[in-house]
Structure 1
């Protein structure tokens, strides 16, 4: 990894919860702490209730913000009626990163066994911004960050990573 210089990315963290406040947001804080430890920048942080339209609107606002490279949400990925984060993410995705959910499930299986089937973690891209929806538990956020995102958001990670293809995410929008 020494042959490449680290490139920090600007990450917004969204907690989806009907009941948490910033002071009680352990999962969001896990992500904030880990991204800072890795050398990245916290671009913004918010808490929203489980309302699909509001979540999608916030994602769109961050996608449009040139100071946000990545959005990570936590919460609302389960199976109950109020869990609408995945649907909100998919409302804004241009492309889904199908393997993200698969790899997250593999990581989760090692920790919580077959209970991993209850998570609908997802990832995608829109407007040149990466978006990831993680479960609302601090453990799930640690697992997703420590096992997947810390590597894929590090330009030095080989054989490939999300950072090195940032410039190409919007190539379809360039003039020919």
Structure 2
């Protein structure tokens, strides 16, 4: 393993099942590889028109902005939103559904109410647009898209099947989608 931590950004949308795969693998590897994983909620419809995740991605953006530098709640809420839409075929567009997801992710009822109030605010809209534009500036044409920062230079990887290439790029070892299982 290399000594200095590498920054790895994951641009994703909970509407994308492939983003979910990439998200889970990178979350597993964050402590195996020497990386600083930064979760970047991005609006897929800003890259590919027509998705239904705007409210969910604004909620994730609001949590991310509130928790600057702390990815734990964004990670838990992202996972809960994926479980709702892709595992239980539940809604992720209505306030009641978003509230339920946030509560299951461990966010207090009072804070959920506050977050739902700000998801339509201009600063949250602007932040999500900005993150989406940043992904497009890196060359995104879909999600998930991961950017590894190596010696100040960004390297972009598209899809949830590029982990072996990513590992090589950051000087780490890829041992499959469940790194802890390979250590047993």
TM-score (norm 1): 0.34
TM-score for both structures, normalised by structure 2: 0.33
Greater fraction of residues in strand: 1
Identify which of structures 1 and 2 has the higher relative contact order when contacts are C-alpha pairs closer than 8 Å and 6+ apart. 2
